[in-house]
Amino acid sequence: MRTPIIDELRRLFSSHGNQHYGESFSQLDHALQCAALVARDGGGDALVAAALLHDIGHLLVLDRVPDAPTTPEPDVDFRHEELGAAWLADHFGASVTEPIRLHVAAKRWLHTRDPSFSESLSEASRLSLQVQGGRLSEQKRLEFEANPFATDAVTLRRAGDAGKVEGLDCGALEDWLGVEERVVERVVKEPGSGLSG
């Protein structure tokens, strides 16, 4: 079965995956490392798929806004987590899209629980943490903790923070797209999903 969304993911990574967004490694390298870390730690296909695609919103911004910044800026937040999750929702279920949508909230939650958490972040992630709002309010903290995908979002967040090793070989994009294909097929075949092939 040929799934158009997989071809579109190939195109986005081919066109924009070489961008670094303030880090010493590319968006593609980061995505591959995150997927590999989640898979290594026993994550299921949906969470591995989410790990590979968690920053797809950055690539969508670059695809749609030709002069978009390629490094974090102190006053610019494209809300890439929401953009990516919304775009993927036509093809993937909540077990993929919700951890993606929540991975920034998970970073803020970790920082709220332990303010020293930010010291472990890369410089670009520390800057984006401030742009994204820093500590959660008490209400937002409780809302995050009540979300059924909060644990997956934290797992994804931790992989996102760890998946920043320059030069680490985690295979090629094609090695991981089969996971995406399996998850898409499951959603399409799921009765009552509201999605069609």
Complete domains list, the chain, with CATH:
4-189 (1.10.3210.10)
The model's pLDDT over 23-50, given as tens digits with 9 standing for 90+, comes to: 778 899 999 999 999 999 999 999 999 9
Distance CA 59, CA 121 (A): 21
User: SS3 of 144, please?
Assistant: helix
The model's pLDDT over 43-96, given as tens digits with 9 standing for 90+, comes to: 999 999 999 999 999 899 989 887 776 665 656 668 889 999 999 999 999 999
DSSP state string for 133-156: TSSPPHHHHHHHHHSTTHHHHHHH
152 neighbors 95 (Cβ within 8 angstroms): yes
Among 70, 79, 69, 153, smallest CA distance to 110 is for 153
Distance CA 133, CA 179 (A): 33
The model's pLDDT over 114-169, given as tens digits with 9 standing for 90+, comes to: 888 888 888 878 888 888 888 999 999 999 999 999 999 999 999 988 888 888 88
Whether 196 has a pLDDT exceeding 60, the answer reads no
Provide the mean pLDDT of the chain.
Answer: 87
Quote the pTM value: 0.86
Interval 1-8 mean pLDDT:
83
Distance CA 96, CA 36 (A): 16
